Structure 1
Amino acid sequence: MEVPRDRDGSFTPRLVPKGARRLGGLDDMIISLYAGGMTLRDIQFHLASTIGTDVSHETISKIVDEISEEVLAWQRRPLDPIYPVVYLDAIVVKVKDGGHTRNKAAHIAVGVDMAGIKHVLGIWVQQNEGAAFWASVCADLANRGVRDVLIVCCDGLTGFPEAIAATWSQAAVQTCVVHLLRNALRFVSYSDRKAVAAALKPVYTAADAEAARAELDAFTTSELGKKNPTVTRVFDRSWEQFTPFLAFAPELRRVIYDERDRIAELPVAQGHQDPRPVPQRCRRGQTPLAGHLQHRGQTRRRTGQKIRPETLPNSARTSRGRTGGHQLEEGTRTTLAGLPRPHRAVPITRRLTRKPNRRLTQKT
Structure 2
Amino acid sequence: MATTKRSTNRPPVEALVAGDRDLMRALMKDALQEVLEAEMTELLGASPNERTETRSGYRAGYYGRGLVTRIGKLELRVPRDRHGEFSTALFERYARSEKALVAALAEMYVQGVSTRKVKAITEELCGHSFSASAISAINKGLDATLAKFAHRPLEEAYPYLIVDARYEKVRESGVIRSQAVLIAIGINWEGHRQVLAVELANRESQSSWKEFLLGLKKRGLSGVEFVASDDHAGLKKAIGEVLPEAAWQRCYVHFLRNALDYLPRKADDDCLQELRWMYDRRDLQEAQRDLAAWITKWQGKYPKLVDWVEGNIAETLTFYRLPRAHHKHLKSTNMLERLNEEIKRRTRIVRIFPNEAACLRLVRALCSETHETWLEDSRYLNMALLAEQKKEFLRAAA
TM-score range, shorter chain: 0.5 to 0.7
Residue matched to 1:34: 100
Q: 2:173 aligns with which of 81, 95, 98?
A: 98
CA RMSD in angstroms comes to: 3.5
Q: 2:162 aligns with which of 68, 76, 87?
A: 87
More deviation, 208-217/48-57: 48-57
Is 2:335 aligned against 1:261? yes
Tell me by how many angstroms 1:47 deviates.
Answer: 4.2
Residue matched to 1:332: none
In structure 1, distance between residues paired with 2:305 and 2:122: 52
Q: Contact 2:105/2:122 (CA < 8 Å) preserved in 1?
A: no
AA aligned to 1:143 is K
In structure 1, distance between residues paired with 2:350 and 2:175: 17
In structure 2, distance between residues paired with 1:186 and 1:108: 27
Give the secondary-structure state (helix, strand or coil) at the position aligned to 2:164: strand
Quick one: structure 1 residues 221 and 122, their matched pair in 2 at CA, closer, same or farther if it must change by over 3 Å? same
Is 2:204 aligned against 1:138? no
Is 2:245 aligned against 1:164? no
Q: Aligned residue pairs: how many?
A: 252
TM-score (ref. length: structure 2): 0.55
Residue matched to 2:316: 242
TM-score (ref. length: structure 1): 0.59
Q: Contact 2:103/2:135 (CA < 8 Å) preserved in 1?
A: no
Quick one: structure 1 residues 101 and 59, their matched pair in 2 at CA, closer, same or farther if it must change by over 3 Å? farther
AA aligned to 1:125 is L
Q: Which runs of 5+ in 2 are unaligned?
A: 1-62, 66-74, 77-90, 110-116, 352-398
Give the secondary-structure state (helix, strand or coil) at the position aligned to 1:204: helix
Tell me by how many angstroms 1:112 deviates.
Answer: 0.8
In structure 1, distance between residues paired with 2:196 and 2:102: 19
Offset from partner CA, 1:115-174 (integer Å, 9 cap, x none): 211111111211211223222222111111112201111111225444223223221111
Give the secondary-structure state (helix, strand or coil) at the position aligned to 1:149: coil
Bigger RCO of structures 1 and 2 (CA < 8 A, at least 6 apart): 2
Alignment of 1:52-67 (within 5 A): 52-56=127-131, 59-60=134-135, 62-67=137-142
User: Which is helix-richer, 1 or 2?
Assistant: 2
More deviation, 119-128/40-49: 40-49
Is 2:195 aligned against 1:120? yes
Q: Contact 1:208/1:246 (CA < 8 Å) preserved in 2?
A: yes
Q: Which runs of 5+ in 1 are unaligned?
A: 1-13, 17-23, 277-364
AA aligned to 1:45 is A
Quick one: structure 1 residues 58 and 187, their matched pair in 2 at CA, closer, same or farther if it must change by over 3 Å? farther
Quick one: structure 1 residues 106 and 233, their matched pair in 2 at CA, closer, same or farther if it must change by over 3 Å? farther
AA aligned to 2:238 is A
Residue matched to 1:202: 277
Quick one: structure 1 residues 69 and 33, their matched pair in 2 at CA, closer, same or farther if it must change by over 3 Å? closer
More deviation, 121-130/32-41: 32-41
In structure 1, distance between residues paired with 2:255 and 2:214: 26
Tell me by how many angstroms 1:65 deviates.
Answer: 4.8
Quick one: structure 1 residues 274 and 138, their matched pair in 2 at CA, closer, same or farther if it must change by over 3 Å? closer
Residue matched to 1:175: 250
In structure 1, distance between residues paired with 2:175 and 2:201: 16
Offset from partner CA, 1:91-128 (integer Å, 9 cap, x none): 11122333433211111111011121111111121121
More deviation, 25-34/63-72: 25-34
Residue matched to 2:292: 217
Q: 1:227 aligns with which of 279, 287, 301?
A: 301
Q: Contact 1:34/1:43 (CA < 8 Å) preserved in 2?
A: no
In structure 1, distance between residues paired with 2:311 and 2:172: 38
Quick one: structure 1 residues 221 and 187, their matched pair in 2 at CA, closer, same or farther if it must change by over 3 Å? same
In structure 2, distance between residues paired with 1:99 and 1:58: 22
Q: Contact 1:183/1:234 (CA < 8 Å) preserved in 2?
A: no
Higher-Rg member (1/2): 1
Residue matched to 1:251: 325
Is 2:143 aligned against 1:68? yes
Tell me by how many angstroms 1:249 deviates.
Answer: 3.6
AA aligned to 2:150 is Q
Q: Contact 1:94/1:101 (CA < 8 Å) preserved in 2?
A: yes
Give the secondary-structure state (helix, strand or coil) at the position aligned to 1:83: coil
In structure 2, distance between residues paired with 1:57 and 1:218: 66
Give the secondary-structure state (helix, strand or coil) at the position aligned to 1:186: helix
AA aligned to 1:216 is L
Offset from partner CA, 1:316-360 (integer Å, 9 cap, x none): xxxxxxxxxxxxxxxxxxxxxxxxxxxxxxxxxxxxxxxxxxxxx
Residue matched to 1:45: 120
